[in-house]
């Protein structure tokens, strides 16, 4: 197969090149940054692009963002993302677009060479290789979104103001409603978020955390 590697670590990139070459594949491009990934992949049309999540200049999510852009511009592009952690936002976007020809593996979970090469072959052939931890975290994130989605528009307004540290009285003033009305909304929010009266900790804080996590 013809492959592209986008990995900022020189040693890891060289190791991947050697490993894949020894397995009979051709590395047609090897990149140390994510900047040229989309352009190079669109030009060379490889059988698979192997992309690290964290790349220069900020070493946060440049690689996976480039992977998302590549899939948007070429939905048939096959991509195997390698990472030391789950970047939930862009992983979710990648998986939501299509799982065909997509892999997202945590580096520490690739137990051996054969397992990795099997994943490379499977994804390049249009299959899927998703680390269980990736799936688990995305499912949890999706459930959080679903819970927040159950709130009414007014309840979301109240929760947003709670997240800004406003008291019930201040929220009432901002929304031009009575303080009693705000209290009813807050009670409904607690109920829909599953925060019972005996919940350990402050329910108001926990509700705000759920909102921020979503």
Q: What is the pTM of this model?
A: 0.68
Span 158-185, average pLDDT: 90
| pLDDT, mean of residues 113-138 | 86
Inter-CA distances, 141 with 61, 85, 134, 210, Å: 18, 15, 11, 10
So what's the pLDDT on residue 206? 77
Contact, 50 vs 25, CB < 8 A?
Answer: no
Beta strands 128-130 and 2-6, pairing class: unpaired
What domains sit in the chain, N to C, each tagged with a CATH number?
2-131 (3.40.50.2300), 150-213 (1.10.10.10)
Q: Check residue 39 and give its pLDDT.
A: 96
**CA gyration radius, the chain:** 22
Averaged over 94-118, what is the pLDDT?
A: 84
Alpha-carbon distance of 157 to 102, in angstroms, equals 37
pLDDT for the residue numbered 139: 59
Q: What is the mean pLDDT of the chain?
A: 86
Read off the pLDDT of each residue in 116-122 and give the average, rounded to a whole number: 93
Nearest CA to 193 among 181, 204, 179? 204
User: Does the pLDDT of residue 214 top 70, yes or no?
Assistant: no
Give the max Cα distance, the chain.
72
Strand, helix or coil for residue 149: helix
Binned at pLDDT 50, 70 and 90, residue 200 comes out as very low
For residues 126-136, average pLDDT:
82
- Evaluate if residue 26 carries a pLDDT over 80: yes
């Amino acid at each position: 197969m013809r492959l592209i590697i986008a990995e900022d670590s020189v040693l890891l990139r060289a190791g991947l090149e050697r490993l894949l070459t020894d397995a009979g594949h051709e590395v047609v491009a090897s990149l140390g940054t994510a900047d040229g990934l989309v352009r190079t992949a669109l030009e060379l049309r490889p059988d698979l692009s192997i992309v690290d999540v964290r790349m220069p200049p900020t070493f946060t999510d440049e690689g996976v963002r480039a992977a998302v852009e590549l899939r948007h511009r070429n939905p048939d592009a096959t991509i195997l993302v390698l990472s030391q952690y789950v970047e939930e936002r862009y992983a979710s976007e990648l998986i939501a677009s299509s799982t065909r020809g997509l892999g997202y593996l945590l580096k520490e979970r690739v137990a051996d060479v054969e397992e990795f090469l099997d994943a490379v072959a499977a994804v390049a052939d249009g299959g899927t290789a998703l680390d269980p931890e990736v799936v688990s975290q995305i499912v949890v994130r999706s459930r959080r979104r679903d819970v927040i989605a159950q709130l009414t528009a007014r309840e979301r307004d109240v929760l947003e103001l709670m997240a800004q540290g406003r008291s019930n009285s201040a929220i009432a003033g901002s929304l031009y409603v009575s303080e009693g009305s705000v209290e009813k909304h807050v009670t409904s929010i607690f109920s829909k978020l599953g925060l019972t009266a005996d919940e350990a900790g402050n329910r108001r804080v926990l509700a705000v955390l759920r909102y921020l996590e979503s």
